[in-house]
Each structure stands twice: as structure tokens, then as C-alpha cells.
Amino acid sequence: MHDLLPHISGQLSNVFDSITYFMPEVYLALLFIIVMITDLIFGKRSTGLCRTVACAGLVLVMYRDLTQFTLVVDGQHFIFSNMLLLSRSGIFFKLIIDLLSSILLLYFTWDNKLKAHSKGLSDLYSIAVASIFGMHLMVMAVNLLSIYLAIEMVSLASYLMVAYRTENSFSTEAGLKYVLFGAASSAIMLYGISLLYGFSGSLDVVFQSSIVQLSKVNPVSSSFAVILVLIGIGFKLSFVPAHFWVPDVYQGAPTPITAYLSTVPKIAAFALLINFLPPFILTSHWTGFDMGIALSIAGIITMIVGNFAAVMQNNVKRMLAYSSIGHTGFALMAVVVLSLQGVSALTYYLLVYAIANIGALALANYFANEAHAEEMEDYRGLGLKYPAASVCFVIILISLTGLPVTAGFTGKLFVFSAVYSVYQQTHNIWLMLLMVTGALTTVVSLFYYIRIPLYLFLKRKEMGEIADKKSYNLLILSGIISFLLILLGIFPDFVLRYL
């Protein structure tokens, strides 16, 4: 105990100095407390107030995010004794997460089934804010302990959100499956972390000294430990083979929760992967398996499984769930090269994919509210009945496919360009296989994305009555998203100039 006393003052100074770089997260912690207290004071009637407080708080958090660019003029800064890393790319990821989360918080009450929940939605907003805090930590985590805690914080909040509609057996079943798969992946990751700590003697695995220690261990053992950790991260990314939970959970969860889970936690997980991988890819001290080849194989299989499985789906949400797996595999292409161009391409691609996916699920929600349409067959002839929503759906699906002149096309083009520029230097056959698979699966995606416009406009059925009470909020949101996807497709520099 006495040996530790001289170090206490230094540790306290480090903590106080780090708080300056941690202000957005401090704001999020305070916002969580305020939203929770608001819910406790006003009860079921506080849904609108909690939503207003949460969204206003996120605006302040985004402002604090922007001010952090002046703190990392040298590119990056370690805080809290190297537990977290604040970098320019990390700030961009946090901004994207906060922006998308604020849109999704507004979206929660636009789903008829979720809005009709007997408990109200007040506590759902406090859970969401806690999840956003965990995602901020995921973006900055570089220590094995902080990585585990951040992932668990986001996972626990996600379990609660999926099973929020306790009166619905399908939602409860989805939540149970999510918890079981999540608990298994967390245990596997924790086992890998314990092995890495035992092999290297440090939790700071991103530093070269730790990799040097790992190089002294049997390569099979160290590789096994790293694979276990990647499985835990892969659970949040939903790449093969950690994808089994996605279709059932996305279909069973309320649609706004599905939109939330399929976008912002996935973006945070990619940011975490970017922080975790450099010591294993960019240094010569790592003696285990080739991480680039392993991720290339995972990306290829994920693209194939996600896109071909989506072709066979008839439920719209389930189809979008499998397509999200395919998009994860495509995004892994940019992670494999791990260059500055690759990180910029990944950031842009994730942003436009998330916007388009939110729009697609919002429109699926719109047709479920208006016409009780959840299966492909239910969309027959609805294009003439709901023309504005149907046209927006077509634009959004074109972007998800990656066709000109939408943002999805430019996003995929930037990823291909980043991979090809590295391929020209290395002539790595795995990069060529990634590009070929990405191009072929993009063609495959046409077969399932085009089915929705086919049923909307070309299939006919007897026209029914149009609902008196329309979901105008969802229609306005999808219209704005459609406009953004076209705008960013024509003028991608609006975003790229800042990346």
C-alpha cells in the first residue's frame, strides 16, 4: 500500500487533465441522469418531455464533439492512463453516432405499436442515452478492459431495447435470443482478453511493447486469443460467423429499435475495430495469423451469406436484416487496407448506409402503420395508393444497392478506390477477391432490393380504403433522407472535405 502512495497524485493529475478531453461523455452522463429523473417525476406522461430533453441534450453533445477538433491538432491524444484514445477519426465517428441517434430518438414515437405500449416510452430514452454513452466509449477504447466495458454497456442497453415491448411474445423471444447470443459472445471475448493479458502482461494491447511480448508466445496460442476477442467485436458488427442473432432480433424488435441497432452500434463497432487492429496489421512484431487475410475471408463470406440469404426472404424487415450483414462484409473491405483513404471511405460509406437504412426501415414502418404490410405480398399495388412514400422507397433502395446517382454509389466507389489503390502497390490476391466479391454481391443485391418496387408498382390488387390518419412524420423523414442521398451522391464533397 505504501508503495502506491507516491503514484496517487500523478494518477489524480492524469484523471483531472483527461476530463478536458472527455466533456461530451460528461454531458451524456448528466443527460442520462436528467432524462431518468424526468421520467421518475412525471411518469407515463413524460414521453414527449423526455424525448425533447434527450434530443436537446444530444445537440449540446454534438457541439462539444465539434470543439474537440481543436484539442487534437496532432491527430490523437491518450487519456485516462491510456484507457481511451481521442483522435480526429474518432470525433467524426462520435458526431455521426450523435446525429443519427438524435434522428432515431425522434423516430421512436412514430411507430404505432411501440407508441401504444402500456408503460410509455419515457424509460426507453434513458436507456438510449446510456447506450450512446457506451458507444462513445467504444469509439475511444484502446485498452482491453475499456473495450470490454464499452461493449457490455452497449449490449445491455440493446437487450433492454429489443425486449421493450414485454406484452409482445415475438419481441420477448427476440430479446431472449439476443441476450443468449450476447452472453455467449461476451464470455468468449472475456476469455480471449484474459489470455492476451496473461501472454503480454498488459491490458494496453495496442502498444508495440505488448505486441513484442505476444511475439514471444506460441503463435497458435496468441492467435487463438486474438480470434476470441474478434468474435466479441464481431457480435456487434454481425459479420459471419457472429451473425446468427440478426434476422430474428431485427424482425422481432420494434422497427425503430431495429433501425437503431442496425446503424449506430455497428458504426461504433467499426470505430473500435479500427483502434484494435493497427498493432496486428501495421507492425512486423505480430507473429500470429495474418489479420488481413482473416478479415478478407470474413468479409468475402459475410458478403456472400448476407446477400444470398436476403434473396430468399419474404419479410421486409428480415430481408433488410440480411442485407445489413452484406453491407457489413462490404465495409470490412475498407478495414482490411487500414489506410487513411480507407478510413475516410469507411466513414463516408457507413454514414450514407446508415442514413439509407434508417430511411428503408422508416418506410417499412410507414407501410406497416398504413396498410399493415410486413411481407412482400402485402406491398402489391401500394405504389399507386401511396405514391410519395413509394417513390422515396425506390430512391432509398437504389442507394442501398449502390447505383448512380445516389450516395450509396459514391460510398461503394470510394471503398473500391481505397482497396484498389492498395492492391496496385501490393498486388495482394485477397484484395482482388474482395473487390470481385463486392462487385458480384452488389449485382445480387439488385434481385432482392428490386422486389419491393416490383410489388409496389407492377403487381396489382384491388384498391382498399386509404387510412384517414397518415404517418406524416415518417413520410417527411423518408423524403428528407431521399433528398440527402441524391444530394450526397452528386456532391460527396459536402462530407468528404471534412474526413
pLDDT at 496 over 90: no
The angle at the Cα of 405, spanning 377 to 498, to the nearest 5 degrees, equals 120
Residue 238 phi, psi (nearest 5): 60, 40
- DSSP structural state of residue 121: S
Query: Is 463's pLDDT higher than 70?
Result: no
Q: What is the pLDDT of residue 134?
A: 94
> Helix, strand, or coil here: 290?
coil
**Bridge partners for 79 per DSSP:** 84
**Using omega within 30 degrees of 0 as the cis cutoff, is the peptide bond preceding 241 cis?**
yes
Give the model confidence (pLDDT) of 171-209 as tens digits. Answer: 777 778 888 888 888 899 999 999 888 888 888 877 777
Q: How confident is the model at residue 351 (pLDDT cuts 50, 70, 90)?
A: very high
- The pLDDT score that the predictor gives to residue 4 is 57
118 vs 291 pLDDT, higher one: 291
Looking up cell 497458435 gives: 220
Confirm if 328 and 351 have CB atoms less than 8 A apart: no
Give me the amino acid identity at 362: A
Name the one residue in this structure whose C-alpha cell is 507492425: 283
208-250 residue pLDDT tens: 777 777 878 888 888 888 889 888 888 888 887 877 788 888 8
Nearest to 222 by CA among 286, 154, 305, 163: 286
Give the largest CA-CA distance in the chain: 83
DSSP structure string for 379-441: GTTHHHHSHHHHHHHHHHHHHHHT-TTSHHHHHHHHHHHHHHHHHHHH--HHHHHHHHHHHHH
C-alpha cell, 230 = 474478434
Which residues are bridge partners to 87 per DSSP? 76
Dihedral sign of CA atoms 165, 170, 174, 179 in order: positive
What is the average pLDDT score of the chain?
86
**Rounded distance, CA 451 to CA 365, Å?**
17
Give the pLDDT band (50/70/90) at residue 465. low
Task: Output the CA torsion sign for 163, 169, 170, 176.
Answer: positive
Most confidently predicted of 124-128, 166-170, 492-496:
124-128
